[in-house]
Amino acid sequence: MDARVDSRVPVDIKQKASKVLADHGLSLSAYIRMVLTSVANDGLPKYWGIPNMKTMSSIEEAVDDLKTHKLEGATSYTELEKLLDE
């Protein structure tokens, strides 16, 4: 038995996606079935960009630095180069 999948997207996004898919002979339903089948069988695509622990740690460190204003700012390219060379 088939299951129904519902999703809400902005109207303009649906229209643009429908046009692109139609240009390739696909419907939204067919494309969604293809994507879900692929994820179910093979997992997320490698290009999906799920950060590893090291990347997440770096992101969290940068966010923390931005929140606590630990990062120095630069008002010119020369100042930025100087900061990056330290």
Residues 6+ apart with CB under 8 A from 32: 5
User: Per the domain annotation, does 6 fall within a domain?
Assistant: no
pLDDT of residue 41: 95
Confidence of residue 56 (pLDDT cuts 50, 70, 90): confident
User: Per the domain annotation, does 4 fall within a domain?
Assistant: no
Question: Which of 54, 56, 74 minimizes the C-alpha distance to 64?
Answer: 56
Reported pTM: 0.53
Residues 43 and 66 in one domain: no
Residues 67 and 41 in one domain: no
How far apart are alpha carbons 76 and 80 in whole angstroms?
Answer: 6
How far apart are alpha carbons 5 and 50 in whole angstroms?
Answer: 24
Q: Name the domain count of the chain.
A: 2
How far apart are alpha carbons 13 and 19 in whole angstroms?
Answer: 10
Residues 16 and 36 in one domain: yes
Half-sphere exposure of residue 33, counting CA atoms within 13 Å on the CB side? 8
Domain span at 74: 53-85
pLDDT of residue 1: 82
User: Per the domain annotation, does 5 fall within a domain?
Assistant: no
User: Per the domain annotation, does 61 fall within a domain?
Assistant: yes
pLDDT of residue 18: 97
pLDDT of residue 46: 79
Residues 39 and 63 in one domain: no
User: Per the domain annotation, does 37 fall within a domain?
Assistant: yes
Over residues 34-46, the pLDDT tens digits come to 999 999 999 888 7
Residues 18 and 34 in one domain: yes
